[in-house]
Amino acid sequence: MIVELSQVRDLMLVNQEHPISWNPQSLVLVGGRVLMDERAASALNKLMEELDGWRFITAVSGWRSQEEQHEIYIRSLWENGEEFTKQFVARPGHSEHQTGLAIDLGLTQPDIDFLRPYFPYEGICQTFRERAAAYGFIERYPAGKEAVTGIAHEPWHFRYVGVPHAEIIVEHGWTLEEYHKHQKPFSLEVPT
């Protein structure tokens, strides 16, 4: 099977043990508010079009530069303390947001928490979740998997991994870390 480099990059594992290994090449605006990788943005916009999602869901945070991630991390340490920050904010260089493949979404309301937007398991948000894998997205930090991901449950954070990978991950109830372990014999490392 021939795998395109873009597909390998879509599956890149970024966490506390695996720093970001490349920068996105083509960023586009989604939801009128944030930037994302072009392929991820296209898939997200198709899903939102199917759901008429942008009327009810707000793009809170997408691609972040190293500098922006550093500022968010330092600000959270100052405002929320180290324990909270370790749970909800990745260190600069270790944030999926820096890939352009991750997005935080929130239910549209007057006040939206930037670090923990409200994205409930009901209504349009749940419908989004149920259709996300068909468009290549996974809920990246599910409840009960904190020990695997190293990040607290984040029902608002979605990661583009592409199809069929998202469908396989959701079908098995895996995290991206678990998918990587399963795929290890096939090596999902990004060539340099």
CATH number assigned to the domain covering 2-62+100-187: 3.30.1380.10
Q: Look at residue 168 and tell me whether its pLDDT is greater than 70.
A: yes
- Which residues are tagged catalytic? 154
Q: Return the domain boundaries, the chain.
A: 2-62+100-187
Residue 62 contacts by C-beta under 8 Å, 6 or more apart in sequence?
30, 33, 34, 35, 36, 97, 100, 102, 103, 104
- Alpha carbons 150 and 161: distance in angstroms, whole number: 19
Q: Across residues 37-60, what is the average pLDDT?
A: 97
- Alpha carbons 97 and 83: distance in angstroms, whole number: 20
Per-residue model confidence as pLDDT tens digits over 110-141: 999 999 999 999 999 999 999 999 999 999 99
Per-residue model confidence as pLDDT tens digits over 89-106: 999 999 999 999 999 999
What is this structure's pTM? 0.91
